[in-house]
Amino acid sequence: MSGGAASAPKPLPSSGPKSLREMPHPLATSSSEEMGPALTPSPDLLLPRSIADKDLSLPNGTPVDTSSPASSSSLLNRLQLDDDLDVETRDLFVTVDDPKKHVCTMETYITYRVTTKTTRAEFDLPEYSVRRRYQDFDWLRNKLEESQPTHLIPPLPEKFVVKGVVDRFSEEFVETRRKALDKFLKRITDHPVLSFNEHFNVFLTAKDLNAYKKQGMALLSKMGESVKYVTGGYKLRSRPLEFAAIGDYLDTFSLKLGTIDRIAQRIIKEQLEYLVELREYGPVYSTWGGLEVELSEPLEGVSACIGNCCTALEELSEDMTEDFLPVLREYILYAESMKNVLKKRDQVQAEYEAKLEAVALKREDRPKVPTDVEKCQDRVECFNADLKADMERWQNNKRQDFRQLLMGMADKNIQYYEKVCVTVEAQAGIRVVYFPLKW
């Protein structure tokens, strides 16, 4: 991807048929040398070898050529999402910061500053700074879905919160949302196709975004129109095995991640309830110590120990709330986004099958495939290639994110128990022996 490119690059070609057996497990490491033996995927995420070894073909029996050309540009595009990639090779940087509260007569809302720095020729200036509210991010995502229907669009944090439970104007909530919006734009920035989308350019540069919003459907691409207006009368006979495997994987992944999310929320809730009890528990010893001079020193020590444990537990709960839960929720939404792309792909394949069957029923001696059927076949192949490329990219991101998340939470838990042990050592006059882990 070059900063001097004059037009948006074509969608990435597929890396070829890829079975679910080859897809990295969310908890697997990228290298056995980095974290020791790789974790084995759950058996319910594996496919029979007979399915994994089959090649993709279109309904008419024509094999789909999905091999990638060994070009330096396509290779560079695939490397763009590697977190270890040298920053000097990037030509577009976007950050979301500086949230501000706006109080108007009709509504109260938060805006965020979106700063862009780039060397791309598509931008008139090297740097932009605009303010956007949540509904502007939502507009961008909808436009990307309409104009790039064959690609996986990163999810946004959920807009609605339960009133009385979460204060959407609290500092903690606003900061959590800011991080999620920042990650949303960075996902798009790192994508070799979405980052060149004209709506993304407008979002980053336009001072008045409302003027572009009023244009509605006028800027939809031909591909977006063709997919958006596919009628519901076409019924897919059967999803190709490789995409059926992806669908099954996403269902299982969503189910398991949802279970982890619910349990984690329950743990945090119980930690906070326990924290309330601890805060009431500690002062009792201080009060007791004031009544009995002989026991004053040890009782004050117990009270201080409980107070330090409260502080450590509060920090651990905050880390889980601010760092752990948002990542889980993002990937649950990510899986739903991927399922939606699969459904769009199925619609296009169903249309192609119906048109192909209609041509076959004419029973001409030398039937010629109509142009609209060929175009429909092209759309199927485009969906297949883009979907597989985005799935591979998503798997790479997921592996990196979960590795960082789980190692980070393990470190936080170790730090919590170390603080508790140090507190016990100081107050009880004993030495607790523990063995620090090395990753």
Tokens of 130: 């605009």
Give the chain's mean pLDDT: 77
First to last CA, the chain: 35
Residue 231 has pLDDT above 80, yes or no: no
Picking from 154, 274, 167, 146, the residue whose alpha carbon sits closest to that of residue 222 is 146
Which residues are CB-neighbours of 411 under 8 A, at least 6 positions away?
none
pLDDT in tens, 344-384: 999 998 888 888 887 777 755 555 667 778 888 899 999 99
95 DSSP assignment = E
Helix axis angle, 296-319 relative to 371-428, nearest 10°?
170
Amino acid making up residue 9: P
Q: How many Å apart are CA 413 and CA 105, to the nearest integer?
A: 46
User: How many whole angstroms from its chain centre is CA 333?
Assistant: 7
* Span 161-179, pLDDT tens digits: 544 446 778 888 899 899 9
Give the separation between CA 81 and CA 102, rounded to whole angstroms. Answer: 35
Q: Look at residue 136 and tell me whether its pLDDT is greater than 90.
A: yes
Cα–Cα distance between 283 and 303 in angstroms, integer?
A: 6
Instruction: Return the higher-pLDDT residue of 224 and 279.
Output: 279
User: Quick one: angle between helices 171-189 and 134-147, nearest 10?
Assistant: 30
Burial label for 423, CB within 10 Å (0-12, 13-18, 19+), is buried
CA dist 161 and 164 (Å) reads: 9
Q: Count Cβ atoms within 10 A of the Cβ of residue 380 and give its class: 0-12 exposed, 13-18 middle, 19 or more buried.
A: buried
pLDDT at position 394 over 80: yes
pTM of the complete model: 0.71
DSSP code, position 323: I
Alpha helices in 99-158, H assignment, sequence order: 134-147
Dihedral (CA of 379, 380, 381, 386) sign: positive
